[in-house]
Amino acid sequence: MNRRDAITAVGAVALGGAQQAFAQQPIIVKFSHVVTNDTPKGKGALKFKELAEKYTGGKVKVEVYPNSTLYKDKEELDALNSGSVQMLAPSTAKFRPIGVAEFEALDLPYIFANDAEYEKVATGPIGTSLLKKLETKGIAGLAYWDNGFHMVSANKPLLMPADFQGLKIRISGSKVADLYFRAMGALPQIMAFSEVYQALQTGVVDGCENTPSNYYTQKFYEVQKHITVSSHAHLQYALIANAKFWNGLPGPIRVQMDKAVKEATDYSNSIARQENADALAKIKEAGKSTLHTLTPAQVTAWKTAFKPVYKDAENRVGKQIVDQLLGAAGIKV
């Protein structure tokens, strides 16, 4: 054996040892998100951990980091790209920074008449094609997790479009949400989810939108005197993984992980509606905030104010996806 062969042989032994050690170590999956454990997404992440660890016989260990303990909104996707975390479930309103703005079409106002209509789009060709767009960004789009319809709040009742005039409203990042709040005369401001409570408390912003489970678990209802159960837009998440990591999982483990994804997705989606209904009941019971429902005439006024949003959204997210969604919703502009 010459010197070069000897070095190669030593290297091979070292590599073999490393592979063996790797085989005995569990594969760690860091799963970061920004909501509490006690929400549809939080519970879905814990269910995924339970199932992934069970189905792989402990070969995979999932570490869930809830409530922005590891990363805030914008940092999450960077962390996924760099491999600091392996899985996330960000709101589809947060993908513009990595160049997949089309997701924001799902934020178009009144685009889903009810839960079933949302589900049809998410699980149908539109939802599937949006997830596929992530592939070119090194991200595996695994599933959609539901969190129901948005409410909107301030320290005054928000019943007619004019009530929004001049209010600073926190949004999570979507240019479509930016458009529909501007259509009402409000001043939307992007802010990380973990900063919203304090911003509402100190008056940095006047109001926000979110689902009942997020209002309840982040205590927004403590610092907003009036909440309108408006269902003007929908909140959904894309469950995603670092593609290099996900596609590099050993075959048999990947099969079990896909199974865990499917079952955790079904679980999270099956509880979302009830979790939000329960959260709304608790907000009401707490009595710190007055809940409002819109009359049919008020809904009509909101829809009229939102009319220009669909056309304007074409420039922000693309005409094709807007047309597809309007077609699915039967909305004519």
Burial of 75 (0-12, 13-18, 19+ CB in 10 A): middle
Helices 125-132, 115-123: crossing angle, 10 deg rounding = 50
Contact mark string toward ligand LMR, 61..90, x via CB under 6 A: ------------x-----------------
DSSP 8-state assignment for residue 2? -
| 220 binds ligand LMR, rule: CB under 6 A | no
| 35 vs 227, beta carbon nearer ligand LMR | 35
**Closer residue to ligand LMR (CB): 180 or 193:** 193
SS3 call for 58: coil
**35 interacts with ligand LMR by CB under 6 A:** yes
> Which of 91, 217, 289, 324 contacts ligand LMR by CB under 6 A?
91
Which of residues 31, 95, 181, 193 is near ligand LMR by CB under 6 A? 193
Residue 218 in contact with ligand LMR, rule: CB under 6 A: no
Distances 17 to 4, 23, 253 between C-alpha atoms, Å: 20, 10, 21
Query: Of 32, 67, 68, 214, which lies in the binding site for ligand LMR, with binding defined by CB under 6 A?
Result: 214
Residue 174 binds to ligand LMR (criterion: CB under 6 A): no
| 92 lies in the binding site for ligand LMR (CB under 6 A) | no
Give the torsion through C-alpha atoms of 272, 275, 276, 281, to 10 deg. 160
Count CA within 13 A, CB hemisphere, residue 3. 0
- Which tokens is 241 given? 């993984």
For position 172 contacting ligand LMR by CB under 6 A, the verdict is: yes
Closer to ligand LMR at the Cβ: 196 or 249? Answer: 196
d(CA 78, CA 42): 21
Minimum separation from the CB atom of position 207 to ligand LMR (A): 13
Minimal distance in Å, beta carbon 195 to ligand LMR?
Answer: 10
Q: By CB under 6 A, is residue 324 in contact with ligand LMR?
A: no
Distance CA 104, CA 86 (A): 23
Q: Hey, is 295 helix, strand or coil? A: coil
CA 6 distance to own-chain centroid = 53
| Positions in the binding site for ligand LMR (CB under 6 A) | 34-35, 73, 91, 147, 172, 193, 210, 214
